[in-house]
Structure 1
Amino acid sequence: MNIQNLLNPIWSLVPSVLMLGCATSISNSYDHRNGTTEKMPQLNPTASISDQGIEMELQYSLEGYLEYAALQNAGLRSKFSQWKAALERIPQVYSLPDPKFNYGYYISEVETRVGPQNHRVGIAQTFPWFGELGLRNDKASEEAEIAKERFDAEKVRLFYQVKAAYYEYYYLGQAIDITHQNIELLKNLEGVAQAKVRAGSGIGGVMQAQIEIGKLEDRLKTLNEMRLPVLGKLNVAVGLEIENHLPMPKTITYSPVSIEWDLLSSFINKSNHEVKRLKHQVKTRSIDVALAKKQFYPDVQLGVDYIATGESANPGISDSGKDPVMVMFSLNIPLWYGKKRAALAEAEHQYHASIADLQNSRNQLNADLKMALFEFQDAERKFILYQTTLTTLARNSLNVARESYEGGRVEFSELIDAQRLLLEFQLSYERARTDHEISLAKIERILGRKLPQPLQMEGSPKL
C-alpha cells in the first residue's frame, strides 16, 4: 500500500474532526482587518498616521504645528503601531490550537485475525472548555481598547506639549521685544538727562540711565540665548530636528473659554483617556478571573486514527485486509487544585487592584483639575487687570514723571522707577496671557477633550 492510498482515508475524516471548532469560530467571528466584533465597538485606526510619518508642508501656526505633530511625532507613531499590534492579536487568541497529526509504522507487524497491521495515521484536535475561547477574545478586545486609549492619551499629551512650548516661545519673543523697546526708551531718557547736564544739572541722571541700560542689555542677551532651548522643546514636540528654525509667534488668540466648573469632574469620567484605559483594565482583570475559573475544567481532545492492515495469511477469513478506523476522546485532568486556586486568587487580587487604581486616578485627576482651574482663573484675572488698568496707569505714570523731571520737580530716580514699573507690568501682562492659554491647554489635557468655545464662566468677567 503506498502512502497516498494510506492517507486518503484520514484526510476524508479531517472536516468532521474540526467541525466543532469551526462552528464555534463562526458563531462569534472577528474581522480583525476592520477591527469589529459583535461584542466590541468598532476600532478603526486612523489612516492619517503611518509607521514612518508622511511628507507634508509645515504651516507656521499653532494649528499647523499640531497637525504636523500628529503625523510626524515618533512617540505618537509608536503608540499607534502598538494599537495596531493589539488588534492583530484578537484573531490569534480566538483560534483553536493547531491540529495534531501522527503517523506510526510497525517495525514488527502486529498480526490480527484479519491481517497484519502495517501503518497507523491519525489526527486530533484539542478544544478548550466551553466559553474559554470567547473569554480570550473578549480579553484581547479589551486589551486593544487599552492600546487605543494609550494612543489617544499620548495624542492629548502631545498636543498639550506642543501648545505649552508654542506659548512659551511666544512669551520669549514678546519679552525680547518689550525689553528692546525699554532699552530704546531708556536711551531716550538718557538724552533728556544729558540735556539737563548741559543746562547745568548734575551727571547723576545720566549715570543712572546708563546703569539701567546695561542691566536691560544683559537681560536681553539672556533672553536671546534662551531662544535655542525654548525652540528646541517646540521642535521636539512637533517632530522636527531640534535646531530647526521656526519663526516666533507674533500673537496668540485669547480664549475666553469657561464653563460651570461642577460639570468638569463628570467630563473626567467620560472623556479622560487614562480613566477610560483603567476602566478597560478593570474589565480585563474581571475576564482574567473568569479565565482562572475555567482552569478548573479540562480541555477536550477529539481524534481519529486509521490503521492500514494487510491481507490475512489464512485464506477464507472474512474481512481480510479490512482497515479499522478508531475515534478517540481524551481530556486532561485538572488535578493540582492548589496551583489553580492560587492562580484564581492572584487574578482576583489583580482585579481589586485595578478598581483601586481607577479610583485613585479619578481622585488625582480631580485634584489636578482644581489646581489647573485655579491657575486658569488666576491668569485670567491678572490678564484683565494688566490689560485694562495697570499697564495704562504705569504708562501714564511714566509720562507724568518725565514731565516732572524735565520741569525740575522730581529726581531722575523717580523717572527710572516709573520705567521699571512699566517694564514689569508689560512683562506681567504677557506672562498672564501666556499662562492663561497654557492653563487652558492643561485643563483640556486633564479632561481629554477640547472645551467648546466660546463659553461664559459663571462669575467670570466679560471682555
Structure 2
Amino acid sequence: MKGIATMVSLLLVGVFVQGQQLQSYIQQAQDNNPDIRAYELRHEIAEEKVNEANWLPNTEFGAAIFASEPETRTGPQEAKFSATQMLPWFGTVSARENYARATADTEYLEYRIAKRKLALNVAQSYYALYTLKAKQNVLADNIDLLDTYERLALTAVEVNNASAVDVLRLQIRQNEMKQQKAVLQEQYLAEQANFNGLLNQDWRSFIEVLPQIDIPISDPVITDSLQLNPELTRFDKLYESVARAELLNRKESAPMLGFGLDYVPVQERSDMMPDDNGKDILMPMVSISIPIFNNQYKSRTKQNELRQSEIESQKQERLNVLRSALAKAKSERNAARIEFNTREQNIQQAKNAEEILLKNYETGTIDFDDVLDLQELQLKFQLEQVESIKKYYVESAVINYLTN
C-alpha cells in the first residue's frame, strides 16, 4: 500500500509539473504572439469608439454682406451673422454610446477566443514535441536492445548456434531504427520551429519538454458548461449589439431640434432720428428637422430583425458543433486510456517473452527470427503507447478549451 501511495504521489507531482510548464509556455505565447496583440488593439480601438460616439452635429456659422443695403425704419442693414446648432432627439447620444459599447464587448470576446485558440495550439504543439522526443527515446532503447542481441548472436555464431545472416539481419534492423530516429529528429526540429513561432521567439530556441508523461489514474471532472464558451457568448453579444443598433436607429429617425442666433448690424440714419435709430437686430431662432422620407430607417429596422434571426441560427449551429466536438473529445480520450492500458499489458508480456528468449540462450536454443519478431512487436507497442499518451492529453486540451 505504501508503494502504491508513493507511485500515486509521484504521478500527481508529474502532472502538476507538466501543467505548470505548459501553462508557462501558454502565458508566454499570449503575451508575445502578434496575432493576439492585433486582437487586443482591435478591442482598444472599439473601446475608443465609445468616446467617439459622444458627438453632436457641427455648429454652423455664417456671415453675409449685403451687396445692396436694405433700408429699414431704424437704418440700413450692413451685414448678417448667424450661428446654428442642431441637436439630436433626446437619448440619441446615449443610444450611440451603448451601441459602441456593445460592439467593444463583442471585440473583447473575439480577443478572448483568439487567446483560447492560441492556448489550444500551444498545448497541441507541446504534446507533439513530447511525442517526437519520446519516440526517439524508445528507438534509442530498442537500438541498445538490438546491440545486446547482436552480441548474443556473435557469440552464438562462434559456437555454431547461429549464422552470420542472423547478425546481418540484426544490424539491418538497427540501421532501420537509426533512420527512423533521425527522421523523428528532423520532425522534432520542424515542430520546435512551429512552437517557437507561436511564442514569437527565435525558431531555434530550446524548448524544455518533460522526459516522461503518464496518463493520470482518473480523469478530471467535466462540467458541461458549453453555454459559457466565448464562441457562444459572442453570439449573445452580437445579438445585443444589433438590438442597440435598432434602438439607435429609432432615435435617429426622430426629429432633430435646432437652435440659432442671427445678428444684423444696422447703421444710424442721418436724415432723421427715429426711436432705436441704428439699433442692431438680434434674432434667436428655433428649427426642427423631420425625416419625412424615412424609408432608410424602416429598411434598417427590417435588416436588424433579419440579422437577429441570423445570429440565433448561427448560435444554434455553433452549439451543435461544439457539443459534437465535446462528445468526440470525451470518446477519444476514453479510447486513449483503453489503448494505453492494453499496450501497457502487451509491453509487459513482450518483456516476459524477452526473458524467456534470454533463458533459452543459456541452453543454446535461441531463435533470432523470434528475436526480431519480438523486438518489432515491442517497438510497435511502445510507439503506440506514446501515441496514446499524446492522444489523451491533446483531447484533454480540446475538452478544456470547450468547457473552461
- Fold conserved between structures, TM > 0.5: yes
Per mean C-alpha deviation after superposition, the further-off stretch among 377-386 and 410-419 is 377-386
SS at match of 2:71: strand
Q: Would the aligned equivalents of 1:129 and 1:299 in 2 still touch at CA under 8 Å?
A: yes
Could you report, residue by residue, the CA deviation over 1:71-95 in whole angstroms, capped at 9, with x for unpaired residues?
A: 1111111111111111100011132
* Runs of 5+ consecutive residues of structure 1 not aligned to the other structure: 1-59, 450-463
**1:90 maps onto 2:50 in alignment:** yes
Could you report, residue by residue, the CA deviation over 1:207-245 in whole angstroms, capped at 9, with x for unpaired residues?
A: 221221121111111111112211011101111122333
Task: Name the structure 1 match of 2:306.
Answer: 349
Task: Name the structure 1 match of 2:240.
Answer: 283
**1:74 maps onto 2:30 in alignment:** no
> How many Å apart are 1:405 and its aligned residue?
4.6
Task: Name the structure 1 match of 2:109.
Answer: 149
Counterpart amino acid of 1:155? K
TM-score by length of 2: 0.88
> How many Å apart are 1:345 and its aligned residue?
1.7
Could you report, residue by residue, the CA deviation over 1:320-366 in whole angstroms, capped at 9, with x for unpaired residues?
A: 22222222222333233444332322222112111111111111111
TM-score by length of 1: 0.77
- Residue among 245, 250, 260 paired with 1:303: 260
Separation in 2, partners of 1:405, 1:208: 18
Separation in 1, partners of 2:81, 2:356: 108
Tell me: CA distance 1:422–1:134, structure 2 relative to 1, closer, same or farther (3 Å). Answer: same
* Runs of 5+ consecutive residues of structure 2 not aligned to the other structure: 1-19
Separation in 1, partners of 2:350, 2:63: 97
Counterpart amino acid of 1:212? R
Q: Would the aligned equivalents of 2:139 and 2:177 in 1 still touch at CA under 8 Å?
A: yes
- Residue among 163, 169, 175 paired with 1:208: 169
Separation in 2, partners of 1:139, 1:345: 18
Give runs of aligned pairs for residues 28-427 of structure 1, distance below 5 A.
Answer: 61-201=21-161, 202-252=163-213, 254=215, 256-259=218-221, 263-264=223-224, 267-270=225-228, 272-387=229-344, 389-409=345-365, 411-427=367-383
Separation in 2, partners of 1:283, 1:314: 71
SS at match of 2:202: coil
Counterpart amino acid of 2:145? L
Tell me: CA distance 1:313–1:62, structure 2 relative to 1, closer, same or farther (3 Å). Answer: same
> How many Å apart are 1:257 and its aligned residue?
4.0
Could you report, residue by residue, the CA deviation over 1:378-416 in whole angstroms, capped at 9, with x for unpaired residues?
A: 2223334444x3322222222223323553445211121
> How many Å apart are 1:199 and its aligned residue?
0.7
Tell me: CA distance 1:66–1:113, structure 2 relative to 1, closer, same or farther (3 Å). Answer: same
Tell me: CA distance 1:274–1:178, structure 2 relative to 1, closer, same or farther (3 Å). Answer: same
User: RMSD of the TM alignment (CA)?
Assistant: 2.1
Task: Name the structure 2 match of 1:30.
Answer: none
SS at match of 2:290: coil
Separation in 2, partners of 1:254, 1:119: 90
Task: Name the structure 1 match of 2:6.
Answer: none
Per mean C-alpha deviation after superposition, the further-off stretch among 66-75 and 77-86 is 66-75
Counterpart amino acid of 1:441? A
Separation in 2, partners of 1:225, 1:298: 70
**1:446 maps onto 2:402 in alignment:** yes
Could you report, residue by residue, the CA deviation over 1:242-274 in whole angstroms, capped at 9, with x for unpaired residues?
A: 2333344323475544225xx41xx1112x111
Paired-residue identity, %: 24
Separation in 2, partners of 1:254, 1:200: 47
Q: Would the aligned equivalents of 2:214 and 2:389 in 1 still touch at CA under 8 Å?
A: no
Task: Name the structure 1 match of 2:17.
Answer: none
Could you report, residue by residue, the CA deviation over 1:290-319 in whole angstroms, capped at 9, with x for unpaired residues?
A: 333345432222222222222234432111
Structure with greater helix share of residues: 2
Tell me: CA distance 1:431–1:333, structure 2 relative to 1, closer, same or farther (3 Å). Answer: same
Counterpart amino acid of 2:283? M
Separation in 2, partners of 1:258, 1:172: 26
Separation in 2, partners of 1:395, 1:103: 101
Counterpart amino acid of 1:358? K
Separation in 1, partners of 2:269, 2:315: 74
